[in-house]
Structure 1
Amino acid sequence: MLPRSGDVLHVTRAASVQFLRPIMFRVIRVLDQPTYDGWLWLEGYELNAAGDAVNRRSIFVQREGLVRIKAAPEPRPHTVRTQRRPVTRTPVRVG
């Protein structure tokens, strides 16, 4: 599973030995840095039990050890916008 921006993950010791105490993590992005096969750098926010961001972090984890709690919402389809009318300019009154 490759995380996407907005995914909420449960990161445990299965993802990396640094997580003796599991955390919830909301992904901002997957960093494009060279790593070992199966490992990745994630940038995002550590979440508290209420789901509020408490700490911005970059973490180095094994892809196979990540558990997705909540997937990012699907992007909205592109909608066609109507053409905007140009603004009518009027002379400025002074005094």
Structure 2
Amino acid sequence: MRPQPGDLLRIDGRASVQFAGDRALTFRVVSVCPKPTYTGWVWLTGYVIDRRGQAIDRREIFVQLAGLFPATSTPVPRISRGTRPYASRNDQGYGAAARGGSGVRPRADAR
């Protein structure tokens, strides 16, 4: 397999002994070095992808072409449920006043 930028690969002991066993990783290819190396080997630049689908480390790796295989499943980045990218105008955390859109906050000393 000749990797291309954007490919998601499973790098393990088949690609190089340094990735054998629990050192295997999922790797998103950014670039493939065009310079000649040993026959059947290639330098790849890319990102190590964690189980949540997020890039955690940029690396350059030297691997055997015959040992490269596509990752079996594509991890998908997820946004946690506890965070939102932005809050709405009325979402100020003041209960009914905020939900009602009146723009008036209830005061603790109001009668």
One fold, TM greater than 0.5? yes
The structure whose Rg is larger is: 2
Identify which range, 52-61 or 32-41, moves more after superposition: 32-41
| Structure 1 match to 2:8 | 8
1:34, distance to aligned residue in structure 2 (A): 2.3
Structure having the higher helix fraction is 2
Q: Which residue of 1 aligns with 2:64?
A: 62
- CA deviation vs aligned residue, 1:1-32 (integer Å, no higher than 9, x gap): 11111100000001001102110000001012
Return the structure number with greater relative CO, CA threshold 8 A, min gap 6: 1
Question: Which residue of structure 1 lines up, in the alignment, with residue 17 of structure 2?
Answer: 17
Deviation readout 1:35-72 (Å, 9 max, x if unpaired): 110000000001111111000000000001011127xx
How many matched pairs? 70
The answer for the alignment partner of 1:93 in structure 2 is: none
Q: Which runs of 5+ in 1 are unaligned?
A: 71-95
Off by >3 Å, runs of 4+ in structure 1: none
Percent identical pairs in the alignment equals 49
Q: 2:35, 2:54 → 1: CA distance?
A: 28
* Residue 28 (1) aligns with residue 30 (2): yes
TM-score by length of 1: 0.70
SS of 2:6 mapped into structure 1? coil
**What is the alpha-carbon root mean square deviation over aligned residues?**
1.1
Q: TM-score, normalised by structure 2?
A: 0.60
Structure-2 residue corresponding to 1:78: none
